[in-house]
Structures are given as structure tokens and as C-alpha cells.
Amino acid sequence: AVATAEQARRAEGAAAEQVQRVDEAVGAAAEVFAPGLAEQLSQLRLGTSGGEAEESETAALPAPMAPEPEPSPAGVAGEGQSAGTPMLPPPPLKPLPTPPTGVRVCRVVPGTSELSDSLHGAAPGDAELASACPFLLSLPDIDGRGITSRRNWPQLSASFEMRSLQMSPEHTGGFQELATFVAEYVKAALSDAPPERPVYLMGEGFGGVLAIAAALECSDVVNRLLLVNPSTDYPSTPIARVAPLLDMLPAGLADAGLPLL
């Protein structure tokens, strides 16, 4: 009889522990899915309707489990992402070719006729917008500055990623050297451009002939030409007879950018 009573007490104790575990599990689930339900269940177990339960009778509910983070897209590193899928760095920009002496390419500030030496910056200040708008490289007349066309630059630079070739009196190289530089520059500057992006060479006077020669060397990149009064018959023009005298002008006078020069 004593043994039977002992077994009954042990069975009763095990049943009570099992009931407690079930209550704790139900309370934890209610805390996660219906927080208000956990308090009601606690009150029902203690036989209370709205009063505070005795502190000794209230068991601490386990903290709800935090949801597992969603996996990051393949190839993109995020917080907590394993080292097995590192984020690849963007490909480096192709270096631009070294210009001949006295030659440089400048970016035209959008909506203005001002020049900037920041060549890899996006024209409108937004890389995605710059890659979507047409590209325009302006090649100047014999003045080397684009003086006569500059009044149109504010309108052009507002719609194009516009750059301008600038030549100073220090440039003494030949025509073919200049044409090859323009072609190599366009290839490097647009190395990552989609094939459907419009790419313009705009040449004025001497720049028109230069645009034709450069386009022949980079026809896989340039798909449009704008020729303004191209000097295709330069030897028969009056400027051909006085052009040799330009080398005799002081450098300061040439740099002044006079319209007649």
C-alpha cells in the first residue's frame, strides 16, 4: 500500500510538471501571436478576473524568438551575410589616354557654357541619368576654344552629357595625332556604355574634318556626326592663306579668345 501511494504521488507530480510545461508553451505561443491572450490565460489559471496575480504565482514567459533574416540576393553582401557570397566591387573605370601637349578635354557643366576638368563625373550629377542621355563631344574650329558655338552650349549641355576638346597655342602636333587621340578618348570614356546609347561627335569648321577622321577610327562607338560648316575645302579658303601667320601671334593674344581668331 505504501509503495502504491508513493507511485501515485510520483505520477501526480509528473502530471503536474507536464501540465506546467504545456501551460508555458501555450503562454509563449500566445505572447508571440496574440500578446493580449497571454495575460488572460495567466488570469484564468490563477482564478482571477482582473486583479493582479501574486508575484510568486507568475512564471516568467520565455522571450519570443526573433524571425530569421531573409537571405540576401546572390552576389550582394548584406548584414549578417556569410563570407561565402561576398559583394563584388564595381569594375574600375578605363583610364583615359594622355592628351597631346596643349590639348585637353573638359566636361561642360549642365545648363551652362562653363568647363570642368572632372571628366569621370556624371554630367547631370546623377550617374544613372548620365548613362541614359546622349553623349556629345564638341570639336572646335581652328580657334581651339569653340568660341562661335559656345553660345549654344547651355541648351546642348542640358540635354547631353557634353564634353569639349580644347586646344591651346602650345599644341604643335599634327592632324593625325589629334584625330587618333579623339578616337582613343571616346573609346575609353564610353567603354562601359550600352551599344544603343547615342554618341555624337560635333565638329565646327576645322573640328568638322577632325570629327570625320576620328569617327573613322572609332566607328564601333560613334554612331552620329554633327558637322557645322566643316572645312572640307580648307585650301581654297581665305583663312588658309593667313593661317601660317597665326603662329607669329603672342600666346596671350591667342588665349584671349578673340572671335576673329
Backbone angles phi, psi at 16, to 5 degrees: -65, -40
Distance separating alpha carbons of residues 102 and 238, to the nearest angstrom: 26
pLDDT at position 258 is 52
Q: Give pTM, 2 decimals.
A: 0.56
Q: What is the pLDDT of residue 113?
A: 92
Q: Looking at the DSSP assignment, which residues form a beta bridge with residue 164?
A: 106, 138
Cell 509528473, located at residue? 14
pLDDT tens track, the chain, 261 positions? 556 677 777 777 777 777 677 667 656 655 655 555 556 555 655 554 444 444 444 444 555 555 555 554 444 444 444 455 455 444 445 688 999 999 999 999 999 999 998 664 443 344 554 556 899 999 999 889 998 889 999 999 999 999 999 999 888 889 999 999 999 999 999 988 888 899 999 999 999 999 999 999 999 999 999 999 888 777 777 777 877 777 777 766 655 555 544
Q: What is the pLDDT of residue 187?
A: 94
Do 112 and 157 touch, CB atoms closer than 8 A? yes
Pairing of strands 103-108, 161-167: antiparallel
Q: Exposure of 28 by Cβ count < 10 A (0-12 exposed, 13-18 middle, 19+ buried)?
A: middle
Rounded CA-CA distance 189/135 in Å is 10
CB 199 within 8 A of CB 186: yes
- Alpha carbon distance 213, 229 (integer Å): 16
Structure confidence at residue 82 (pLDDT): 47
The confidence score (pLDDT) of residue 90 equals: 47
pLDDT value for 13: 75
